[in-house]
Amino acid sequence: MAFSCKNSSKFNGFSSCIKMVMVGTSAIMMQQRTLAMEASLCVKKSKKKGADSVTRPNSQISAAMAAVTPLLLLLLLSSAPSFSSGSRNAYNINGRVKIPQGLGLGTKGYALPGRMSNVKVLLNGGQNITFLRPDGYFSFHNIPAGTHLIEVSAIGYFFSPVRVDVSARNPGKVQAALTENRKGLSELVLEPLREEQYYEIREPFSIMSLLKSPMGLMVGFMLAVAFLMPKLVENMDPEEMRRAQEEMRSQGVPSLSSLLPGGARN
Segment 177 to 236, residues that bind another protein, using CB under 8 A: 179-180, 196-200, 202, 204-205, 210, 212-219, 221-223, 226
The residue among 203 and 237 lying less far from another protein, judged by its C-beta, is 203
Quote the CA–CA distance of 202 and 204 in Å, as a whole number.
6
Total residues in contact with another protein, by rule CB under 8 A: 83
Quote the CA–CA distance of 178 and 181 in Å, as a whole number.
6
Alpha carbons within 13 A on the beta-carbon side of 116: 18
Residue 33 Cβ vs another protein, minimum distance, rounded to whole Å? 26
| Start-to-end C-alpha separation, the chain | 74
Span 42-71, contacts to another protein by CB under 8 A: 46, 49, 52-53, 56, 58-60
Site string for another protein, 24-43 (x = CB under 8 A): --------------------
Span 68-127, contacts to another protein by CB under 8 A: 92, 109-110, 115-117, 120, 122-127
The residue among 31 and 128 lying less far from another protein, judged by its C-beta, is 128
Residue 197 Cβ vs another protein, minimum distance, rounded to whole Å? 5
Selected from 4, 82, 84, 101, the binder of another protein by CB under 8 A is 4
The residue among 22 and 37 lying less far from another protein, judged by its C-beta, is 22
Stretch of 18-26, 96-104, 158-166, 236-244 lying at the interface with another protein (CB under 8 A): 158-166
Residues facing residue 177 across a β-bridge: 163, 184
The residue among 26 and 128 lying less far from another protein, judged by its C-beta, is 128
Q: Is-contact 97 152, C-beta < 8 A?
A: yes
Residue 135 Cβ vs another protein, minimum distance, rounded to whole Å? 11
Selected from 48, 98, 163, 183, the binder of another protein by CB under 8 A is 163
What 3 state SS string does 121-189 have? EEECCCCEEEECCCCCEEEEEEECCEEEEEEEECCCEECCCEEEEECCCCCCCEEEEECCCCCEECCCE
Residue 80 Cβ vs another protein, minimum distance, rounded to whole Å? 17
Residue 202 Cβ vs another protein, minimum distance, rounded to whole Å? 5
The residue among 32 and 59 lying less far from another protein, judged by its C-beta, is 59
Quote the CA–CA distance of 163 and 173 in Å, as a whole number.
14
SS3 state of residue 93: strand
For the beta carbon of residue 104, count every other beta carbon within 10 angstroms.
18
Long-range CB pairs of 201-210 (<8 Å, 24+ gap) are 201/109
